[in-house]
Amino acid sequence: MSGPCVAVVGGGLAGAEAAWQLAVRGHQVRLYEMRPRRMTPAHTGDRLAELVCSNSLGADNTGSPAGILKEELRSLGSLVLRRAREHAVPAGSALAVDRERFADSVTEALEGHPLVEVRREECVRLPSEPAIIATGPLTGEPLAAALQERVGGFLSFFDAVSPTVTEESIDRTVAYRAGRWGRGEDYINCPMDETAYNRFWKALVAAERSPRHHFEQDARFFEGCVPVEILAERGEHTLAFGPMRPVGLPDPHTGERYHAVVQLRQDNLEGSLYNMVGFQTNLKWGEQRRVFRMIPGLESAEFVRLGVMHRNIYVNAPQVLDPWLRLQGSEALFLAGQLVGVEGYTESTAMGLAAALHMHCLLEGHRLPVWPRETAIGALLAYLQEAVTRYFQPMNLNLGLFPKPERKIRKRRERCQYTAERAAAHLAAFLAGDGACCAPLGEIP
C-alpha cells in the first residue's frame, strides 16, 4: 500500500494499538510520544503502553461486559490484548499484567515494525491530517490548548493511582491468601476487626492531602476511580461496603469473618509486588505511609509506588465527534482513547483500534463502516454519539449500553452470556459484510 504517512500522537494503550493496526495494514505511521523528554505526573518511564493506575484490565470472560470487549479485541487482532495475555499475572477471573514486561513487549513490537517511526518529541499543535490524537487524560498543555480551541472546551475529572508494596514486606502471619467466595488464592487479604477499622477510618479522613493546582479546582471525580479518602468521607461504613467489603472472604484457616478486608493484587510476574485494590489516593506521600501502615499486615510495608492524583481531560464527544471518532468538520483527524470519553484500559484500547480501522477505510477509499450496536465496540461508539451533551461524562462498557435482549433474562450472568453470543454473531456478520475493511490481517508476531 502507499499513501500519506499517518501521525499518531500519544504512546499509551490507544495510540500504541492505533499505530499497530495501521502499520499491519501497510500504512506508514509516525508515532509521537513526548516521554522521556517531558514526563507526566503519573508516568515513571519512557515505554509505550505504560500502565499508570491499576495493572488490571478487568474481567476476562464473556460473563462480563469487559470480557465481551476483550473477545472482540482478540477477534480483531489487538496487539495490546495479545501482549497483555502473554504477560498476565494471577488475578482470578481478571486480566492483570506485569507492568514492565507488558510495556516492554508493546514497545519492542512497535519499534521493530518497519512501517512505524517512533518520535520521542512533544507534539504542540494539531498535526496536518491524516492523524489520530490519542494523548489521553494527561495531554500536554500546548496540544490541549490547541485542541480546546478547536472543539470549544473540555470537560475534566480527577483520576488517581493506588500504592504498590513489596510482597516480602507484607506480614503473612496476619494477611492471608484467598479469592472472594473461595475462587482461587490470587489475592492477599489484610483483615480488620471493627476496632481496627474504626481507628483506620478516623486516621484516613483526617489525613493531609496533596493540594490541587489552581486549574484543577473545579474538576470532578470519575465515580469508578474516587480516592479512598473521599469515599471514607461519605460515611463511616462506606469503605466496609465498598473496596474493603469483607463478604466472601473468611480466613480459610480459621473460618473467621472480619469487619473489613483490604485486598492486595499481584502487580508483576514474579509476584514480588502487590497493589492495594481500590485504594486510589491523593494523600501526601508521608501520610500514605503513616495511615496505610495502620492496616493489619502492612505495618512494615515497603511502598515502591505511592498514590498520586491527576486531572483527566476528555472532549464532549456527542457534541464534537462524528460516529467514527473524527472531529466534526475534518476529513481525517480522529481522536482515540480516554480523550473521547471512555473510561478503562480496555475501552481506551478499543477506541484506538476503532479509530485506526476507520482511518484505514478512509485512506483506502472505502465507505466508513457502521458498527452493529449489538457489539461491544458498537455499543461504546453509540454511547459517544447519543449521550446527553449537557451531562456527558466518561463511561466504562456496561450491559446498559447494549440493546436489550429480545426476551427477558433475569440473571445477570445469563444476560451477559446472551449478550456475548449476540455480539459475536453480529461482529462476524459485520466483518463479512459492510465492515470487511476492518477484518484482521494475519497473526501478531
CA distance 28 to 22: 8
CA distance 221 to 113: 38
**pLDDT at 443 (0 to 100):** 62
Place of cell 462498557: 397
CA distance 209 to 207: 6
- Please say whether the beta carbons of 162 and 279 come within 8 A: yes
User: pLDDT band at residue 138, thresholds of 50, 70 and 90?
Assistant: confident
> How many percent of the chain have pLDDT more than 90?
76
Q: What is the pLDDT of residues 241-262, one digit of tens each?
A: 999 999 999 999 999 999 999 9
- Please say whether the beta carbons of 170 and 298 come within 8 A: yes
| Conformation bin of residue 83: beta by default, left when phi > 0, alpha when psi is -120 to 50 | alpha
More confident residue, 404 or 116: 116
User: pLDDT band at residue 217, thresholds of 50, 70 and 90?
Assistant: very low
| SS3 at position 411 | coil
**pLDDT at 216 (0 to 100):** 43
Place of cell 433475569: 410
- Please say whether the beta carbons of 312 and 306 come within 8 A: no
- Please say whether the beta carbons of 196 and 296 come within 8 A: yes
**pLDDT at 67 (0 to 100):** 97
Mean pLDDT for 336-347 is 95
Mean pLDDT for 90-97 is 94
| Per-residue DSSP letter, 85 | H
CA distance 6 to 119: 13
**pLDDT at 214 (0 to 100):** 42
CA distance 264 to 189: 6
**pLDDT at 270 (0 to 100):** 80
